[in-house]
């Protein structure tokens, strides 16, 4: 494939430049331009001169386009194709708490996509194993199949597909010591779906836990005499996921987390309902309803989301974050968390994962490892 040159106002690690990105077969060949400040960059955006930001990286995706990771089969292809059209160029396929054979089937189906990006799709970087190693008292929208973790079982699952992130409740018997063993084998363990105390959270971090799964949700909250898991995160965490759909977490709590935790990165926690019209969808073994922008169980509890990371970016900017910071929280920070220096930034030699935005921060074009992805709704 010949080189492509994309003209626009480009967000680089050093700031915005008004110029062009040269894209080769899969990677960025060059970035050229004149430095401008963010206000000038936003003002310069117009038809033919988009804002070009790094492709979004979503580390918590259950579904999209009407399909769920737990559907197995070819579901992950549909999911990755749905999210790339919203600017997500890399993602982690995220499981639900389920019987072991269902988790194994889901991982086996995802494995091929982890090896190579499919045409017209986001890159599947691996798996986020969210459950079954959680506290049955804090299932949230997870089905009731929680079970204690074992190193042997995790190794077996990892042989089916690469586990990049594992959510665990550290207060469950044996889990605290297991966190250290998993860290030593290279896994990232996050605290989530937990009824544990502040002290449990601090101990988990000391044993090697690296972050918190959908901070504030499905964990013990902050009280000034019982700080809970949220208090442990705000006081001690370096990394945490956050769902910025403005339903899961109040804007004030989002601002508190952004002030307290240096490397908050945003995830969608998207279900099959993401990118789809209102109606009934599947989330693991649950049936859920998408309505009024949210996804809920029949009893009204939130059950994942219909969020995509382009809307997350717009929500963060709407809360007052500079575009450069909002972009980092849906791209670079997640890449750094996974140790992926060649993603989440627009620099020579990095993967050509790019999102072209208009003045309203709507996605106009996407490049996934150099492949241009058509956006049907874009003019």
Residues labelled as active-site residues = 269
Q: How far apart are the first and last CA of the chain?
A: 25
Q: What count of Cα atoms within 13 Å lies in the side-chain half-sphere of residue 80?
A: 26
Two tokens at 311?
């809307």
Q: What count of Cα atoms within 13 Å lies in the side-chain half-sphere of residue 101?
A: 0
Distance between CA atoms of 315 and 257, rounded to whole angstroms? 15
Distance between CA atoms of 197 and 230, rounded to whole angstroms? 9
Transcribe 187-211 into DSSP letters: -EEEE-SB---HHHHHHHHHTT--E
Helices then strands, counting H and E runs in the chain, come out as 11, 21
Distance between CA atoms of 314 and 358, rounded to whole angstroms? 12
Two tokens at 226?
């019982």
- Does the N-terminal peptide bond of residue 114 adopt cis geometry, omega within 30 degrees of 0? no
Distance between CA atoms of 325 and 313, rounded to whole angstroms? 10
Give backbone dihedrals phi and psi of 23, rounded to 5 degrees, phi first.
-110, 130
* 105 touches 94 (CB < 8 A): no
Which residues make Cβ contacts (< 8 Å) with residue 212, sequence separation at least 6?
190, 191, 192, 219, 229, 233, 237, 239, 240, 241
Edge-to-edge order in the sheet of strand 363-368: 28-36, 15-23, 4-12, 51-54, 354-357, 363-368, 371-373
Helix (H) or strand (E) holding 283: strand 279-283
Which residues make Cβ contacts (< 8 Å) with residue 23, sequence separation at least 6?
3, 4, 5, 6, 29, 352, 354, 367, 370
């Amino acid at each position: 494939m010949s080189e492509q040159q994309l003209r626009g106002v480009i967000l680089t690690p050093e700031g915005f430049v008004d110029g062009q990105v040269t894209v080769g077969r899969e990677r960025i060949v060059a970035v050229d331009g004149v430095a401008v400040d963010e206000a000038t960059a936003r003002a310069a955006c117009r038809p033919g001169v988009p804002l070009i930001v790094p492709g979004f990286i979503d580390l918590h995706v259950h579904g999209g386009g009407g399909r769920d990771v737990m559907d197995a089969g070819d579901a992950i292809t549909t999911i990755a194709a749905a999210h790339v059209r919203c600017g997500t160029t890399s993602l982690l396929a995220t499981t639900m708490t389920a019987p072991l054979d269902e988790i194994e089937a889901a991982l086996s189906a995802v494995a091929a996509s982890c090896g190579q990006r499919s045409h017209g799709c986001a890159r599947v970087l691996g798996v986020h194993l969210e459950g079954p190693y959680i506290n049955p008292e804090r299932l949230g929208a997870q089905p009731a199949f929680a079970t204690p973790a074992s190193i042997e079982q995790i190794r077996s699952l990892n042989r089916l597909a690469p586990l990049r992130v594992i959510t665990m409740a550290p207060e469950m018997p044996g889990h605290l010591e297991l966190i250290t063993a998993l860290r030593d084998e290279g896994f990232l363990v996050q605290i989530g779906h937990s009824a544990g105390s502040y002290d449990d959270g601090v101990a988990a971090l000391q044993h090697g836990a690296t972050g918190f799964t959908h901070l504030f949700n499905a964990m013990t909250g902050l009280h000034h005499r019982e700080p809970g898991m949220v208090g442990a995160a705000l006081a001690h965490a370096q990394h945490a996921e956050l769902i910025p759909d403005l339903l899961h977490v109040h804007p004030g709590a989002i601002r508190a987390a952004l002030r307290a935790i240096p490397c908050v990165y945003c995830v969608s926690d998207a279900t099959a309902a993401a990118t789809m019209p209102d109606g009934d969808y599947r989330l693991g073994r649950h049936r859920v309803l998408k309505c009024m922008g949210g996804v809920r169980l029949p009893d009204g509890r939130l059950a994942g989301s219909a969020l995509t990371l382009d809307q997350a970016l717009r929500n963060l900017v709407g809360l007052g974050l500079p575009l450069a910071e909002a972009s980092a929280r849906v791209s670079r920070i997640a890449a750094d968390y996974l140790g992926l220096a060649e993603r989440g930034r627009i620099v020579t030699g990095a993967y050509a994962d790019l999102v072209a935005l208009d003045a309203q921060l709507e996605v106009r074009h996407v490049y996934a490892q150099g492949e241009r992805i058509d956006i049907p709704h874009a003019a």
